[in-house]
Amino acid sequence: MRKGNNPQKEKKIEITNKTHRVIIPLYIPELEAYYKESFKVFKMCINSLFKTTNKQTVITIVNNGSCIEVDNYLNELFQKKMIDEVINTQKVGKLNAVLKGIRASNEPFITITDADVLFQQNWLSETIKIFTSFKKVGVVGVAPQFKLYDNLSHNVIFDNFFSSNLKYTEVKEKKGLQKFYKSIGWNDDYNKDYLAYNLSIKKQNISALVGCGHFVATYKRCLFDNNLPFTNYSLGGTSEMLYLDLPAPQKNMWRLTTEYNFAYHMGNTVEGWMLKKLDQLDKEEVKTIVFPSNTQLIKKNTPFLYFVKQRLFSRLFSFKWFQQFFYRIKGLPKKVAKKY
């Protein structure tokens, strides 16, 4: 039986609209074995975010069944209002955790990041520069990788095939690339020309690499349909490709990455250089970032354009003669092009 009137009834609440949200799926079930240093790595990740974002950014942690030590730490951050939201789930898988975060967010820009990413100074402002300069961009990454354009980004090449602004340029941070591939366990036997040249696109004085990875990237919210079904994968499989990579080209939008390295993948082990990088970060609290205006309406898929630009056009790159033709007209030295 209810007595009296609920004091909250008809009471208006004040909702502060933000422009940017960071979503981090987190799964640290124990502090032993594989996860022995994962908690330390996550703390470095979140502290690097605190130091490189300001009040325009809010943070959501999707706690995917982590251990009690992690639970207590997240609750502490939430109580101190250092993070905006903690969503607690029970081992629903990485992408399903991300989907929970997206569905609870209405900010026009969303950064989705792994919990082992070390953010660097100016990563957000450099990301927004690319969104502002290239109107067709839907996703921007901050960690260069090898031949990113091979990953669902042939629509960018199609749209700019005859433009002199699309060309191979020298890699800006060779050491950043080396650190990334070391962090994911690669041997040092890859083609070293990948450390020298990458495909970039330029507009006025802003340049970006063609393509984007998905361990850390910023997305326009309008890419995501709130009715996306949950995936059956706990981790990997086709889940990240279907839910994070495909939406942009399916909607005829571009995937680009900053030329310089503004984030490092740490893995599950703390190394000295990571601590040094974290200590070098300065708090950017007073810096205001001007985000471009962006519609909140969900963008529709463009099946015909996707078929022509991504499915059909990309097949040309399976032919050696076309690869060599493209490499040469876009600026790769002849010697490099032969084995690129």
Sorted by where each begins, the domain ranges of the chain are: 20-337
Contact at 8 Å (CB) between 297 and 70? no
10 Å CB burial of residue 139 (0-12, 13-18, 19+) is buried
Measure the CA dihedral 244/255/283/61, to 10°.
-10
pLDDT tens per residue across all 340 residues of the chain: 656 565 545 554 444 568 999 999 999 999 999 999 999 999 999 999 999 998 889 999 999 989 999 999 999 999 999 999 999 888 777 888 888 888 888 899 999 999 999 999 999 999 999 999 999 999 999 999 999 999 899 999 999 999 999 999 999 999 999 999 999 889 989 999 999 999 999 999 999 999 999 899 999 999 987 666 666 554 445 667 888 999 999 999 999 999 999 999 999 999 999 999 999 998 655 467 888 876 666 778 999 999 999 999 999 999 999 999 999 999 999 999 999 9
Pairing of strands 197-203, 166-170: antiparallel
Pairing of strands 57-64, 85-89: parallel
Regarding the domain delimited by 20-337, which CATH topology (the fold level of the hierarchy) does it fall under?
Spore Coat Polysaccharide Biosynthesis Protein SpsA; Chain A (3.90.550)
Its pTM stands at: 0.92
DSSP state of 37: T
Q: Which long-range contacts (CB under 8 A, 24 or more apart) does 83-90 make?
A: 83/46, 83/58, 83/59, 84/21, 84/58, 84/59, 84/60, 85/58, 85/59, 85/60, 85/61, 86/60, 86/61, 87/60, 87/61, 87/62, 87/63, 88/63, 89/62, 89/63, 89/64, 89/65, 90/64, 90/65
Among 117, 115, 25, which Cα is nearest to 62's?
Answer: 25
